[in-house]
Amino acid sequence: MKVMLSKYEQQIEKALLKGEYVSASDLDHTRELFQEAAKNYRELQETKSITLRVNKEDLIKVKVKAKRNGLPYQTLVNLLIRQYVKGETEVVI
């Protein structure tokens, strides 16, 4: 099986062949750090079910807006949370 490399991967391969990269003196520790980082990244990409008490009128309005846009209402709620966390939407308290 022949593996097709992206341009970026080809650049890395060329640099390796030229000896532009050197082995880390603490390779085992570095490997552990990268493995932990990959594990943490995967965990952050997962979703988490939550139970949330919402005013009935607000929930009805969210469901109507979601339906108008062809979305499940849970997806709309998730998008609102994401926009708030990113600082794209503000909440007046």
Q: Could you tell me if 54 and 78 lie in one domain?
A: yes
Q: Could you tell me if 37 and 62 lie in one domain?
A: no
**What band does 93 get if pLDDT is binned at 50, 70 and 90?**
confident
> Is position 2 within any domain?
no
What pTM did the predictor assign?
0.57
How many separate domains does the chain show? Answer: 2
Q: CA-CA distance, 70 to 53, in Å (whole number)? A: 24
Q: Could you tell me if 24 and 58 lie in one domain?
A: no
Q: Report the phi/psi class of residue 76: left, alpha or beta, with left for phi > 0 and alpha for psi in -120 to 50.
A: alpha
Q: Could you tell me if 38 and 67 lie in one domain?
A: no
pLDDT for the residue 6:
93
Q: Could you tell me if 56 and 90 lie in one domain?
A: yes
pLDDT for the residue 22:
81
> Over the stretch 14-57, which tens digit does the pLDDT of each residue have?
999 998 988 878 889 999 999 999 999 989 888 889 999 999 99
Q: Could you tell me if 39 and 56 lie in one domain?
A: no
> Over the stretch 58-81, which tens digit does the pLDDT of each residue have?
999 999 999 999 999 999 999 999
**Is it the case that residue 91 has pLDDT exceeding 90?**
no
Q: Could you tell me if 92 and 54 lie in one domain?
A: yes
Q: Could you tell me if 54 and 76 lie in one domain?
A: yes
pLDDT for the residue 1:
72
Q: CA-CA distance, 6 to 22, in Å (whole number)? A: 22
List the domain range (segments joined by +) for residue 41. Answer: 8-45
